[in-house]
């Protein structure tokens, strides 16, 4: 017992652990938003959209610009939060219609490579439009401070994220399980051809799914913007993390992505306390293990 | 066959004579083209011939580069010995990773290879005491008689030329044809008695081996190695080269390497900011318009829709 | 699969023939007229906070020098390259600058890894390299050699200044958060070694090593909060430190633990932080606005004005004089001076001048180029972060030390170099 407390002096500090857990949850939420979009797109179109991190980044940058243009204060912030993901959704739609439609019938490798190419293009465009230096978005004053959780200070902004999370999760569940569109989407993940044979316009459905997925990534980026440095390279960072989440949780599985995102968020949070040097390797090692033992993820479906 | 051999003989003689007319800068560029060509051809052994696209291949290049540098610098091995050991280390890495990776197909194969690639990158980056971490390893120079760029150029020509011959032999051997069969139709290949997993693993190891050679040669040319060599964005380069030059041809990557390096040089000069954009645009253009790459363009006048690479 | 000979042959001939384009595309230079210096730096990402004003300072110095007749009757011209914070790119750029652009000297760097990489290349290519902005002491000490000179501060000097101040406080338990790369490691080593030397009873209770450019520090912040430390040192800088401070604020970190950091004192970091600046933090700075400093250095006010006008004319968003600007300015003049004294651009002659050392007066004090290690020693200022009445933070209670009074001695450096050489064997 003494050994444990000397190695991990914080382990008896209940309030601190609670705060760390909540912190990890909010990190997990950003990841969830990005990853669920990627997972959704894969589930329906069978394309792993590597440019998903780029969508996240574009949304964060859009937040920077929108917050600057709009009048200062909370209203401006909320409007930006709504508009930025829409902007990214439009971008996603354009990309799907002009590029991705042409390659659905092609080798999945070519599709993967094409979306990888998009990362480079979008990255350069962001650089050209916004310049090379780092940007930041301020939190609205109401959320700039902290509250006390079990006596420990906890940033209010993260409370917002944690509060939005169940709303988003429930919202997504409602969309997929209680709307006709959601039913079509679920059907498409099971059998596209049959759906087409039944007269559904699969091609438009694909576009809609892609736009929705991009919007989710955009929401993640917009929400995260006030908490991180908005910089070039954030696309690679979030992509790698989203990748890990989606692989562990299972491509195409909503619940899997949620669990895995929270898991990864917590791991990152505690990883620094427990295994500071190897927390990054740990993440990839876990991903590798999952891929070896259960390649379709914890809750995913095996490849046809 | 003789015409081809004659062409290559002429090409070789031309290559030998080039340092007499070109400035040092272009000799350096040629060395780098050779390295990229070898790396891309090794990569294509998997992609074009084996039908497996690896997104983490930079790891084997980096393993070769670091192995060569560490042995030469920390263990005091003579350069040639270190260079000989480098591909062995890379192949060993390929064996370990490949063992797991070949159990998967397509998307998951690509993703696991990416994951392993990033693991290698992170280990190199974090293991500062061994690898120097972010600083990389500096002052990794070849012995005095190979120090001049011209001398190193001839050395590179020799080694990489030999590797190309070896790879050509592999590709035209029964093993090579078995690989192609697996790429076209794995189930059928299994039916006719080809051990699919084992062939794929061998291909992976061979690919890793020659990637390691490329890495080792580059290490001594550059004089320094950095963790970036293993970063996933670097894994994209052989992919672009292969797509540019032609996936289905053995010489495609060689042609692609020339094109790639020249494009890189020109664009870095005039508008370096646009380089990643060009890279992405080229790749997308090739995929959409020129599936056979540059070499394929010359080869066929008519385009037949390609059967998809593997199922 | 057909091995198409025709296709392959034509393709490869075309490709290699296009190499012939090389000499055509290679720009022709009027031989020998301006002195060309290849400058490699990071003009992207986290570094731009420093490198943009640095570039302006350098440009301003260069214009002044050229307007005054240049050096040896020739104009000085800087050829810039962006290394994108990667030593790999820097080496590539260095090689291209030397072999293709045929520059007379190399200069630049802000990330220490880049500086070390260029230095290694310079040593092999036998080209003199003036390291400008990067700070690691290894540049001129452990890995020093005759082909590298350092024109600005090195970590040892200001880390020691801060350590000296830290030793004046009763804190025994320390933690730190430093970026996990050469500079961060070097900075912490230098700070801790000197602090421990001055105050042997201090101990480290926690070490945090986020990666350079990390965007989310919340886990590190909570870790620091429960570390039990009384004070902590931060080696973060630029946009990363700004993000860190912003993220730490709701947690009240800098109120609970005394914050020591060399980087936050510059307007480059304080201004973007504004009301969120960590009041009470002990830091180093470039106090161009401080009354006492301006009184001690009467020429500084004039330089401040000149720089602001220059920056405004260049369209720089924030034309305040910054630390980076002063370093760029100083580097420009030191490089020119070295060439002038050598009366030639021959590398051996310039190295000869550097190894003898010289002094130069700048509006902010004397900068001494020390001969034994070709390392520059500028004045150092430290102080405490305070909040102005208008909500603008600044550094007050400024103390001035000269680098030469606190830096490792030539003997110690010689011992360091010998030890490093032994390790390499």
Q: Domain extents for chain B? A: 21-232
Q: For residue C249, list chain A residues with Cβ-Cβ distance below 8 A.
A: 144
pLDDT given for residue A1 in this prediction = 57
Smallest CA–CA separation between A114 and chain B, in Å? 5
The answer to whether the Cβ–Cβ distance between B111 and A247 falls below 8 Å is yes
How far is C291 from A95, CA to CA, in rounded Å?
Answer: 57
Task: Select from C2, C9, C116 the Cβ nearest to the Cβ of B135.
Answer: C116
Q: Which of B94-108, B152-166, C159-173 has the lowest mean pLDDT?
A: B94-108
What is the residue extent of each domain of chain C? 156-284
Cβ separation of C25 and B266 shorter than 8 Å? yes
Q: What is the mean pLDDT of residues C96-105?
A: 92
User: Is A123 touching B (CB cutoff 8 A)?
Assistant: yes
Q: C378 falls in which pLDDT band (50, 70, 90)? A: very high
Chain B partners of C10 at a C-beta cutoff of 8 Å?
298
CB contact under 8 A, A9 and C226: yes
Q: Which residue has the higher pLDDT, C6 or A44?
A: A44
Contact A103 B116 (CB under 8 A): no
> To the nearest whole angstrom, how far is the Cα of B283 from the nearest Cα of chain A?
6
Residue A291 sits at the chain B interface (C-beta within 8 Å) = yes
Distance between C242 CA and the closest CA of chain A, angstroms:
9
pLDDT tens digits, one per residue of C66-90: 999 889 889 999 999 888 888 988 9
Locate A219 and state its tokens: 């929401």
Residue of B nearest to A304 (CA): B311
Q: Cβ contact (<8 Å) for C44 and A232?
A: yes
* DSSP class per residue in C131-154: E-S---GGGTTTT--TTEEE-S--
pLDDT at B124 over 80: yes
- In the predicted structure, residue B159 carries a pLDDT above the cut 50: yes
Indicate whether B249 pLDDT > 90. no
Buried-exposed string A42-72: b where 16+ CB fall within 10 A, e elsewhere: bbbbbbbbbbbbbbbbbbbbbbbbbbeeeee
Average pLDDT over all residues of chain B: 85
Candidates B103, B119, B243; nearest CB to A281: B119
- The alpha-carbon gap from A206 to the nearest alpha carbon of chain C, in Å, equals 33
Interface size between A and C, measured as CB pairs under 8 A: 98
Interior/surface letters B300-311, b for 16+ CB within 10 angstroms, e for the rest: eeeeeeeeebbe
Surface of A (182-211) touching B: CB under 8 A: none
A124/B114 touch (CB, cutoff 8 Å), yes or no: no
**CA atoms of A51 and A217, how far apart (whole Å):** 10
Say what the pLDDT of residue C161 is: 93
At residue C30 the predicted structure's pLDDT band, cuts being 50, 70 and 90, is very low
Chain A interface, mutation test: which of B49, B93, B108, most A Cβ atoms within 10 Å?
B108
Given a contact cutoff of 8 angstroms between Cβ atoms, the answer to whether A203 and A45 are in contact is no
Structural domain boundaries, residue A205? 26-228
Judging by DSSP bridges, how do beta strands C35-41 and C365-370 pair with one another?
unpaired
Residue B295 has pLDDT above 60, yes or no: no
Residues of A in contact with B264 (CB under 8 A): none
∠ Cα C126 B217 C112 (to 5°): 50
Chain C residue numbers with beta carbons less than 8 Å from the beta carbon of B141 are 124
Find out whether B18 and B217 touch, Cβ atoms under 8 Å. Answer: no
Residue A68: per-residue pLDDT = 86
Q: Give the single-character DSSP code of C71.
A: B
**Nearest chain C Cα distance for residue B289, angstroms:** 18
**Which DSSP state fits A106?**
S
Taking one residue from A and the other from B, the number of pairs with CB-CB distance under 8 angstroms is 116
Please state, for a pLDDT cut of 90, what percent of chain C lies above it.
Answer: 51
Contacts A136 to C, Cβ<8 Å: 239, 242-243, 246, 272
In angstroms, the Cα distances linking C251 to A149, A295, C188 are 11, 40, 24
Using CA atoms, how far residue C421 sits from B71, B100, C112, C142, C424, in Å, is: 18, 43, 20, 8, 5
For range C214-242, the mean pLDDT: 86
For chain C, give the mean pLDDT.
86
3-state secondary structure of C394: strand
Is residue A17 in a domain? no
* Total residues belonging to chain C: 425
Residue A108 falls inside a structural domain:
yes
Contacts of B107 in chain A (CB under 8 A): 48, 108, 112, 251, 303
B248 and C120 within 8 Å at the Cβ level: the answer is no
Model confidence at C3, in pLDDT bands (50, 70, 90)? very low
Yes or no, beta carbons of B122 and A284 under 8 Å apart: yes
List the single residue in C with minimal CA-CA distance to A153: C251
Chain B positions in Cβ-Cβ contact with residue C22 (cut-off 8 Å): 22-23, 26, 29
Record: contact A291-B309, CB cut-off 8 A: no
Distance CA C123, CA B208 (A): 33
Yes or no, beta carbons of C243 and A19 under 8 Å apart: no
pLDDT in tens, B187-236: 888 888 878 888 889 999 999 999 999 999 999 999 999 998 998 778 88
| Chain A residues in contact with C223 (beta carbon < 8 A) | 10, 272-273
pLDDT band at B294 (very low <50, low <70, confident <90, very high): low
Question: What interface predicted TM-score (ipTM) does this complex get?
Answer: 0.81
What chains are in contact with A, requiring at least 3 Cβ pairs below 8 Å?
A: B, C
Give the DSSP H/E element, type plus range, for residue A44: helix A14-45
C156-284 placed in CATH 1.10.1040.10 = no
Give chain B positions within 8 Å (CB) of C29: none
> Hey, are the CB atoms on B284 and A114 less than 8 Å from each other?
yes
H or E segment and range at residue A203: helix A202-224
**pLDDT beneath 70, residues of chain A:** 1-13, 272-280, 301-304
Q: Which of C4, C18, C182 sits opposite B134 (nearest CB)?
A: C182
């Amino acid at each position: 017992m003494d050994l444990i407390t000397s190695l991990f002096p914080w382990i008896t500090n209940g309030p601190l652990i609670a705060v760390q857990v909540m912190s990890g949850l909010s990190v997990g939420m950003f990841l969830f938003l990005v990853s669920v979009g990627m997972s959704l797109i894969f589930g329906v179109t069978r394309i792993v959209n590597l440019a998903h991190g780029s969508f996240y980044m574009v949304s964060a940058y859009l937040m920077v610009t929108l917050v600057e243009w709009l009048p200062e204060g909370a209203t401006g912030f909320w409007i930006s939060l709504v508009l930025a993901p829409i902007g990214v959704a439009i971008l996603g739609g354009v990309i799907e219609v002009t590029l991705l439609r042409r390659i659905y019938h092609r080798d999945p490798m070519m599709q993967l490579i094409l979306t990888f190419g998009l990362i480079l293009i979008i990255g350069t465009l962001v650089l050209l439009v916004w310049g090379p230096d780092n940007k930041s978005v301020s939190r609205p004053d109401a959320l700039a401070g902290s509250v006390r959780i079990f006596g420990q200070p906890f940033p209010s902004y993260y409370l917002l994220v944690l509060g939005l999370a169940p709303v988003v999760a429930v919202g997504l569940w409602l969309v997929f399980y209680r709307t006709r569109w959601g039913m079509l989407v679920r059907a498409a993940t099971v059998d596209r051809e049959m759906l087409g044979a039944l007269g559904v316009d699969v091609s438009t459905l694909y576009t809609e799914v892609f736009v929705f997925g991009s919007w989710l990534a955009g929401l993640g980026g917009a929400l995260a913007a006030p908490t991180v440095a908005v910089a070039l390279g954030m696309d690679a960072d979030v992509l790698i993390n989203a990748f890990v989440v989606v692989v562990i949780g299972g491509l195409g599985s909503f619940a899997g992505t949620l669990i895995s995102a929270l898991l990864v968020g917590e791991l990152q949070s505690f990883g620094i306390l427990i295994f500071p040097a190897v927390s990054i390797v740990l993440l990839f090692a876990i991903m590798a293990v999952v891929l070896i033992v259960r390649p379709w993820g914890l809750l995913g479906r095996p490849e046809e | 066959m003789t015409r081809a051999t004659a062409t290559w003989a002429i090409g070789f003689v031309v290559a030998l004579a080039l340092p007499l007319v070109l400035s040092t800068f272009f000799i350096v560029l040629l060395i780098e083209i050779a390295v990229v060509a070898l790396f891309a051809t090794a990569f294509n052994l998997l992609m074009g011939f084996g039908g497996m696209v690896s997104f983490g291949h930079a790891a084997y290049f980096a393993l070769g580069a670091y192995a060569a540098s560490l042995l030469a610098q920390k263990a005091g091995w003579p350069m040639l010995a270190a260079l000989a050991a480098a591909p062995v280390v890379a192949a060993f890495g390929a064996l370990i990773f490949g063992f797991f990776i070949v159990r998967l197909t397509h998307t998951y194969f690509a993703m696991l290879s990416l994951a392993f690639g990033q693991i290698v990158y992170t280990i190199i980056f974090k293991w500062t005491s061994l690898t120097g971490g972010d600083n990389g390893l500096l002052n990794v120079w070849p012995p005095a008689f190979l120090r001049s760029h011209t001398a190193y150029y001839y050395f590179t020509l020799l080694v990489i030329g030999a590797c190309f011959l070896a790879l050509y032999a592999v590709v035209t051997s029964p093993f090579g044809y078995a690989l192609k069969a697996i790429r076209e139709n794995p189930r059928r290949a299994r039916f006719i008695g080809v051990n699919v997993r084992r062939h794929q693993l061998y291909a992976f190891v061979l690919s890793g081996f020659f990637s390691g050679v490329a890495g080792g040669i580059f290490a001594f040319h550059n004089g320094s190695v950095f963790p970036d060599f293993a970063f996933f964005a670097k894994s994209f380069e052989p992919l672009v080269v292969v797509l540019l030059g032609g996936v289905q041809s053995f010489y495609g990557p060689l042609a692609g390497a020339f094109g790639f390096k020249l494009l890189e040089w020109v664009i870095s000069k005039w508008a370096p900011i646009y380089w990643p954009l060009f890279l992405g645009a080229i790749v997308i253009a090739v995929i959409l318009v020129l599936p056979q790459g540059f070499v394929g363009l010359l080869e066929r006048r008519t385009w037949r829709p390609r059967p998809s690479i593997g199922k | 699969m057909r091995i198409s000979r025709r296709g392959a042959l034509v393709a490869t001939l075309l490709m290699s023939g296009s190499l012939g384009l090389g000499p055509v595309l290679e720009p022709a230079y009027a031989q020998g007229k301006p002195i060309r210096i290849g400058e490699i730096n990071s003009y992207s990402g986290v570094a731009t906070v420093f490198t943009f004003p640095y570039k302006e300072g350098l440009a301003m110095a260069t214009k002044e020098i050229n307007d005054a007749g240049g050096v040896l009757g020739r104009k000085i011209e800087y050829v810039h390259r962006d290394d994108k914070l990667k030593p790999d790119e820097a080496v590539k750029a260095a090689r291209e600058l030397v072999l293709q652009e045929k520059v007379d000297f190399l200069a630049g760097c802000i990330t220490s890894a880049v500086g070390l990489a260029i230095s290694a290349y310079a040593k092999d290519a036998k080209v003199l390299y003036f390291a400008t902005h990067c700070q690691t002491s290894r540049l001129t000490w452990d890995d020093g050699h005759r082909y590298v000179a350092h024109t600005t501060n090195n970590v040892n000097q200001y880390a020691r200044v801060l350590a000296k101040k830290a030793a004046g406080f009763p804190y025994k338990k320390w933690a730190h958060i430093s970026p996990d790369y050469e500079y961060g490691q070097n900075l912490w080593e230098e700070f801790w070694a000197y602090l421990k030397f001055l105050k042997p009873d201090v101990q480290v209770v926690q070490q945090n090593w986020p990666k350079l450019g990390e965007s989310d520090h919340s886990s590190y912040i909570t870790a620091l909060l429960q570390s039990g430390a009384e004070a902590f040192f931060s080696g973060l800088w630029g946009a990363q430190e700004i993000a860190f401070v912003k993220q730490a604020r709701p947690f009240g970190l800098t109120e609970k633990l005394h914050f020591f950091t060399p980087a936050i004192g510059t307007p480059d970091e304080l201004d973007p932080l504004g009301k969120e600046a960590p009041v009470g933090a002990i830091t180093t700075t470039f106090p161009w606005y401080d009354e006492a400093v301006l009184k001690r250095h009467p020429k500084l006010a004039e330089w401040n004005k000149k720089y602001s006008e220059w920056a405004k004319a260049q369209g720089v968003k924030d034309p305040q004089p910054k630390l980076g600007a002063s370093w760029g300015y100083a580097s420009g003049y030191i490089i020119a001076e070295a060439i002038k004294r050598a009366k030639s651009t021959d590398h051996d002659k310039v190295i000869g001048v550097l190894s003898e050392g010289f002094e130069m007066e700048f509006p902010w004090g004397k900068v001494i180029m020390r001969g034994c290690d070709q390392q520059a020693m500028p004045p150092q200022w430290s102080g405490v972060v305070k909040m102005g009445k208008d909500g603008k933070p600044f550094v007050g209670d400024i103390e001035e030390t000269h680098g030469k009074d606190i830096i490792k001695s030539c003997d110690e450096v010689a011992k360091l170099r010998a030890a490093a050489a032994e390790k390499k064997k």
